[in-house]
Structure 1
Amino acid sequence: MSSESTIVVNDIHSQLNNTRVAEIVKVESAEDIHATILKATQQDQSISIAGGRHAMGGQQFGTDTVLIDTTNLNRVLTFDRKTGLIEVEAGIQWPKLIDYLIETQKEAPWSQQWSIAQKQTGADRLSIGGSLSCNAHGRGLKMRPMISDVESFTLVDAAGKFLQCSRKENHELFGLVGGGYGLFGVIYSVTLRLLPRQKVERVVELITIDKLQVGFEQRIQDGFIYGDFQFSTDEKSDDFLYRGVFSCYRPVDLDTALPAAQKELSENNWNELFYLAHADKAETFRQYTSYYLSTSGQIYASDIHQMSVYMDDYHHELDHRLDGKEQATEIITEIYVPRPALPDFLAEAREYFRANKVNMVYGTIRLIQKDDESFLAWAKQSYACIIFNLDTVHTPAGIEHSATTFRSLIDMAIVRGGSYYLTYHIYATRSQVETCYPQFAEFLRLKRLYDPQERFQSNWYRHYREMFGEEKTNEYSLKSMVWPHETST
């Protein structure tokens, strides 16, 4: 266990969460977690928890907290090849877990191999504990959020007690911690339910939004298990938020060969696409569409096809190439609408984006099945999920422009019976939070019930505690949460 004193941290993607913490403690064992909690209790310090540092809403950092860094909690503890259950320390990240499964089973026939059901897309280096804490999801066509893939987990609570949480044991905590953003304790280990490893064929076509719901339904009927739709972001084109690349994956016979060499985008290719997404959106869509259509029919392993290319700090180089006068990054929102309402929602969003000069550089649509297990469930029904990446200049006006856009999108979803994802930002109004998450006040009450000293805190939690008028709201003003210093490495 090692620690650093008085340091500033930030999230990787939006880089809008510069936060001063009292100390970073890099735990390496369950005993380290226990000792850190007891020490913080003795010194009356609050604790925040971070893994891959990709969350953008302030969930993993708290001003002046002791930050528990879980990245060294990265071991596989047990793997039952008969049941497909694997227990891992919560700091392990998806690439290491997938590599372990591939290496451990390389001598076994495909019919006896296991793999993950799903992981979040866009970035790989997220921890399993962090993915569970935000109740992430992937591109499964008939899958529920990640909590459905979890058999159980071990939690170290505010008193330093080790609690086994599952659907049968500490059931309420099981639902609160899954999607509870680290507020009920430190997840030490997670037991995942694996699925049989498969080979899948990518099938790609170019379609329009009005045909997407039928397209998804047909793919599901035909046995496809993964898929998404990536739409045009060129606001000058009739294709904007209307036409896109529809990519789905269906199982093939396990005897099908996996070619040693297939078409794939290199890091340089991705860098150029990132640049074009900001500089020439029409050309981006042309190149992206051409590439994906050319890969239709390629065969992948069901785990490897879920991996992504993500380059840390890619926007710094973009700012130079684009001759930006101010730093900028992308920030994300994820909106949910009932599936039949998707075309109408996107038509209104299209009009709003054009009228308000919203600079969207990437967007995708996936499906999600209803989640009936997590307390703070975002998948209240089987929604269409729309992800928007907005290029955001790091000035008060630039940030507020994106925040206003996000609130407008949430309103568009609400009138159609939809909702939004809490993970990516804290720009929603109280009315929007209560409409989309009517259980939120009860969530805060249960937080204090299980953690009466509020040992586990984050700037995300403090924001909502103040929003809902809870006690101790003046201890940290929102203005002091973010500190204008260089990010630590």
Structure 2
Amino acid sequence: MHLRTTDMRSSSSPLQQAHIVLRLSGANMLQTPKRDQGGRMVSRRKFLGFTGLAAAWPNAAWTQDEKGKAKPKPKPEGVVVNDVHAQLNSTRVFRIVEPQSIEAVRAAMKLARTEKRALCIAGGRHAMGTQQFATDGVLLDIRKMNRVLAFDTERGLIEMESGMQWPQLLEHLAAARFSGDKQWAFNQKQTGADRLTMGGCLAANIHGRGLTLPPFISDVESFTLIDAKGELRPCSRTENAELFRLAIGGYGLFGFVYSVTLRLVPRRKLERAVELRTVDEIPGAFAERIRDGFLYGDFQCAIDDLSPDDFLRRGVFSCYRPAPDDTPMPPAHKELSERDRIELLYLAHKDKPAAFQRYAGQYLATNGQLYWSDEQQMSIYPENYHRALDKRLQSEFRGTEAITEILCERDALPAFMAEVARNARREKMEIISGAVRLIEQDKESFLAWASKPYACVVFNLHIEHTSRGLIRAGDQFRRLIDLGIKYGGSWYPTYHRHALRRQVDACYPQLADFLKLKRKYDPEELFQSDWYRHYKNMFNY
């Protein structure tokens, strides 16, 4: 059986589509003067607008009736879904199914086969490369599968259905503490947002702010997976070990992860240490913090590109060290509220020096403050914040932020950031935030993004939702990847799929084998995504 797939236009996000149209329309397209129907010259800006519009909305074609008059194309069936952050991955799926049991998952698989459609899997919808969406596919929304199945309070192992999100896990662990059990906490979670599912975190092999931690795979004891045949398969380092390595960081392509067993760690009290540093000092400062026993930390950069001394160079260095168990916890904390975060986001667009000054002042005021090791990893993410920002900023065009995470050698971080700053000024990148973290080598997953210890630099770029803005964003992402490669690094593929083939080959030489192994475990390609289709096209596979 062959499931229905789509061509490049229908499986690409608006950003990729806009880039494809300009590239496929001929090498001399932008150099050749264009004329409208009256013979008048068409400006380059207007021409780019026309071609970009066609690229961004490839299905907005018009048909003709019997008399030759244009008429709208019939409305396609299905449901439009999108990611919650960049909102640049609008995808029409055939149907959304919200299973609450293994039997319901198998029924959805049967539906997909009956309809000759692919199956895709989504949770919190934070991935930005359409790993969770497949055009015309049946989408499994896993968020109602959120029960705790088992909790070994002696060993610190908790088994959860894959739709459980981090706030739900935090609540469950808190309830267990009141029953007199040992105090357990999760070791790491992704930063910036909380409502990601365990299945999504496993599929993306996420990481947090740990100073000495590999990615999420190191915290996974085992998981159970419903494969393409509908069979429930236990996966661990000793059972179905190859599938264990493939599915963690495999973006949902090897089956439906039903449950995840997480390795917990003892809950601890931590003290925050905050100071201002420059990026030249950061490699040594991180090493010093690790020697002193600090567990978590990051470096938040100044984003004022008009400042020759501060831009991507000066920043807030915050780290967390264990505090004695008998240290009394304060009844309340100084912390950023949702309103504070929205105001910082506004200033990051409107007044970048003020944004950094306010952020630095608020964080320096928390120096010495105590936190629980799990609670300090939680964060407020105001969903759809950009709608209010666009209105407040009186933006001509809609905008959002999109993330890219670039990896470089730790000792090369100052040189890397200096070159990023030069490129950002020249290319007018609007960087809304930039943060530096550390990652240890992932020695286990097949498609390992942390192939060695790296400095991870997360850039949040403002993207204007126009054809010109989308094309520029893709070019900027590719330029940042090139800089990461230049300084011994790579990029984390969860946030977009704009890398060129040469960049993929340089950073993920195992990707071709990854695609082959996907077909080994799913020969009919039941589990798909537009991310998967993109790389199949890239490798002509």
TM-score by length of 1: 0.94
Which of the numbers 311, 320, 330 marks the counterpart of 2:401?
330
Matched, 1:196 2:196: no
Residue 253 of structure 2 aligns to which amino acid in structure 1?
L
Q: How does 1:415-454 map to 2 (within 5 A)?
A: 415-454=486-525
Secondary structure of 2:408 counterpart: strand
Identity of aligned residues (%): 55
Match of 1:184 in 2: 254
Residue 395 of structure 1 aligns to which amino acid in structure 2?
T
Secondary structure of 1:283 counterpart: helix
Is the deviation greater in 36-45 or in 130-139?
36-45
Alpha carbons 2:222, 2:261 under 8 Å: kept:
yes
How far is 1:38 from its partner?
A: 2.5
Q: How far apart, in 2, do the equivalents of 1:337 and 1:143 lie?
A: 17
Residue 57 of structure 1 aligns to which amino acid in structure 2?
G
Residue 98 of structure 1 aligns to which amino acid in structure 2?
L
How far is 1:273 from its partner?
A: 0.7
How far is 1:30 from its partner?
A: 1.4
RMSD of aligned alpha carbons: 0.9
Matched, 1:58 2:130: yes
Secondary structure of 2:433 counterpart: strand
Match of 1:288 in 2: 359
Alpha carbons 2:133, 2:530 under 8 Å: kept:
yes
Match of 1:413 in 2: 484
Q: How far apart, in 2, do the equivalents of 1:328 and 1:21 lie?
A: 24
Matched, 1:229 2:229: no
Match of 1:20 in 2: 92
Aligned pairs, how many? 464
Q: How far apart, in 2, do the equivalents of 1:392 and 1:42 lie?
A: 40
List per-residue Cα deviations over 1:324-382 (Å, max 9, x = no partner). 11110000100001101111111110100011111000110000000011000000000
Which of the numbers 472, 481, 484 marks the counterpart of 1:401?
472
Q: How far apart, in 2, do the equivalents of 1:333 and 1:305 lie?
A: 24
Alpha carbons 1:38, 1:160 under 8 Å: kept:
no
Match of 1:477 in 2: none
Match of 1:6 in 2: 78
List per-residue Cα deviations over 1:111-164 (Å, max 9, x = no partner). x31110000000000001001100000000000000110000000011101100
Which of the numbers 379, 383, 389 marks the counterpart of 1:308?
379
Secondary structure of 2:381 counterpart: coil
Secondary structure of 1:71 counterpart: helix
Which of the numbers 154, 161, 170 marks the counterpart of 1:82?
154
Match of 1:166 in 2: 236
Match of 2:277 in 1: 207
How far is 1:42 from its partner?
A: 3.2
Is the deviation greater in 409-418 or in 72-81?
409-418
Secondary structure of 2:275 counterpart: strand
Q: How far apart, in 1, do the equivalents of 2:487 and 2:357 lie?
A: 32
Q: How far apart, in 1, do the equivalents of 2:179 and 2:373 lie?
A: 18
Is the deviation greater in 453-462 or in 99-108?
99-108
List per-residue Cα deviations over 1:237-296 (Å, max 9, x = no partner). 121010100000001111111111121111111111110010000000000000100000
TM-score by length of 2: 0.85
Where in structure 1 do 4 or more consecutive aligned residues deviate above 2 Å?
A: 41-44, 106-109
How far is 1:80 from its partner?
A: 0.5
Q: Please, which runs of 5 or more residues in structure 1 have no aligned partner?
A: 471-489
Residue 335 of structure 2 aligns to which amino acid in structure 1?
E
How far is 1:107 from its partner?
A: 4.5
Match of 1:219 in 2: 289
Secondary structure of 1:235 counterpart: coil
How far is 1:302 from its partner?
A: 0.2
Alpha carbons 1:267, 1:309 under 8 Å: kept:
yes
Matched, 1:269 2:340: yes
Matched, 1:151 2:221: yes
Q: How far apart, in 2, do the equivalents of 1:44 and 1:173 lie?
A: 25
List per-residue Cα deviations over 1:66-124 (Å, max 9, x = no partner). 00000001111110000000000000000100111011112537xx3111000000000
List per-residue Cα deviations over 1:10-36 (Å, max 9, x = no partner). 100000111111000001011211221
Alpha carbons 2:112, 2:137 under 8 Å: kept:
no
Q: Please, which runs of 5 or more residues in structure 2 have no aligned partner?
A: 1-76
Matched, 1:100 2:172: yes
Match of 2:163 in 1: 91
Q: How far apart, in 2, do the equivalents of 1:402 and 1:296 lie?
A: 37
